[in-house]
Amino acid sequence: MAAGALGASGTSELGRTRDLSEQIKLDIARSIHANATAMTALEWQKSGYAPAEIFQNVRDFKINEAAQALCDGLNVLTDTDLALFEDEIADEKNARVVPCAATLQDRLKQYWISSRNELAEISTSEFPERAFSRSKVKLQLPSIEVPVDAAAGPLLIRGGLKKGEIALTFDDGPHPKRTARLLEILANAGVRATFFQVGEMTTSYPEISKQVAEAGHMVGSHTFTHPQLPKLSAKDAESEIRSGREAVALASGTDIPFFRFPYGARNTYLNEFIKSQGMASFLWNMDSADWKLRDPKVLLARVKAQLDHEQGGIILFHDIHEQTVIALPYVLEELRARGFTTVVYVPQR
C-alpha cells in the first residue's frame, strides 16, 4: 500500500499524534495530486493513493486521533478537491473515522448546487436558444441502432462510427441516486445508451439495473467487483467476468453479450476469453475524464474538446458521478447543436 504508515517506537504520544496528522494530510495531498496528474483511470488506480486506500489506512489506525486528523485534512480542502473523497465520506463503513461527515456533506451539497447554477448561467448567457437544460422541454436528438455480431467476439474502440455519430456509454453503476436522474435526462432527449454495470452494484440495486433496461438502454457487464483483470490469475479473472455477467443479467432481466474491461485493462488471453464467451468488448476513443474532473463546467469543456478532436465515436462516462449528471444536459445540447446522431449498439439477431 503506497499511502503512508507510522510506527510508534521511540516517539512521545504528542509526537506520534503530530506525525500521524501530518502523514494523513500528506496522503490526502498525494491522492489529489495523483488524480490530477493521471492520464487514465487505470494510472490513477495504480497510484496507490485512491481515496478508498487513504480511508482504509485511517481505519487501520483504530485511534481517535486518526479520525480527527482526517477531518482536519479534509476540512481545509477546496470544495472541488473535497468532492474527490465524497463517496468515502458518505460510506457507512467510514462513519467512525469521519465524525465530521455531516458537515462535509453539507458543504458538498452546496457545491453541487452552486456548480449547477453556474453552468446554467453560463449556458443562458452564451446560448439563450438552448432551453433543454433549463426546462422539461424534450430535445429529441436523432438516434439510430447499430447491430453488433457479438458471437464473433469483436473489439470496438471507435465502433465503426462516422463523423457526427456518437455512442454514449456509462460505467460502474448502477448508483442508488444518480443513475435514475441520468435516465430522466436521457429520456427527455430521446437518447438510448449502453450501461456497463458492475455485478456487485447490480446485486445491491437490482431495481435500478432493471429500470435501465426497461428504459430501452443496453445493459452490458463490467465484471463483478471491478478489478484490474490482468493482475488476477486466469481462473479468478474468468470468474469475475462470468459472475459479473450473471449478476447483471439477473438484475436487469436481460442478458446482453456486451462487455467492457475495467479501466480498459486487458491482455491477449483476456481478449481471447471474451471472444470465446461470444461477447463483444467495448473500449472508447473519447474519454470524458469524469473520473477526475469534478467541476461540471470543466467536464463539459473536456467533452467539447474531445468532440472537436475525434468528431465522433464511443465516449466514456460514469453514471456514479454527480458532475456527470449535472453536465449531461449541456453535453446533449452540444450534440444537438453540432448535428450529431446518437447511436446505440444492439446484439445482432
Average pLDDT of 27-52?
A: 94
13 pLDDT above the threshold of 80 = no
Whether residue 151 sits in one domain with residue 246:
yes
8 located within any domain:
no
Q: Are 307 and 334 in contact (CB under 8 A)?
A: yes
Whether residue 317 sits in one domain with residue 211:
yes
- Residues sharing a CB contact under 8 Å with residue 69, sequence separation 6 or more, in sequence order: 17, 20, 21, 24, 25, 58
- Provide the pLDDT for residue 261: 98
168 located within any domain:
yes
Whether residue 188 sits in one domain with residue 265:
yes
When mean pLDDT is compared across 24-28, 69-73, 122-126, 336-340, the lowest value belongs to: 122-126
Q: Are 133 and 329 in contact (CB under 8 A)?
A: yes
Whether residue 90 sits in one domain with residue 42:
yes
Q: Tell me the whole-structure pTM to 2 decimals.
A: 0.92
Q: Alpha-carbon distance 183 to 193, whole Å?
A: 9
- Residues sharing a CB contact under 8 Å with residue 30, sequence separation 6 or more, in sequence order: 2, 3, 49
The total number of structural domains in the chain stands at: 2
Mean pLDDT of the chain: 93
- Provide the pLDDT for residue 19: 84
- Look at residues 79, 110, 141 and tell me which one is the last residue of a structural domain: 110
217 classed as catalytic: no
- Provide the pLDDT for residue 1: 46
Determine which one of 171, 172, 295, 319 is catalytic: 171
Percent of the chain having pLDDT more than 70?
Answer: 93
Range of the domain at 253: 130-347
More confident site: 59 or 124: 59
Q: Are 315 and 284 in contact (CB under 8 A)?
A: yes
Determine which one of 175, 222, 226, 318 is catalytic: 318
- Look at residues 110, 140, 170 and tell me which one is the last residue of a structural domain: 110
15 pLDDT above the threshold of 60 = no
171 classed as catalytic: yes
- Provide the pLDDT for residue 17: 63
- CA 168, 174, 178, 183 dihedral sign is positive
Average pLDDT of 120-146?
A: 79
Q: Are 281 and 169 in contact (CB under 8 A)?
A: no
- Provide the pLDDT for residue 136: 59
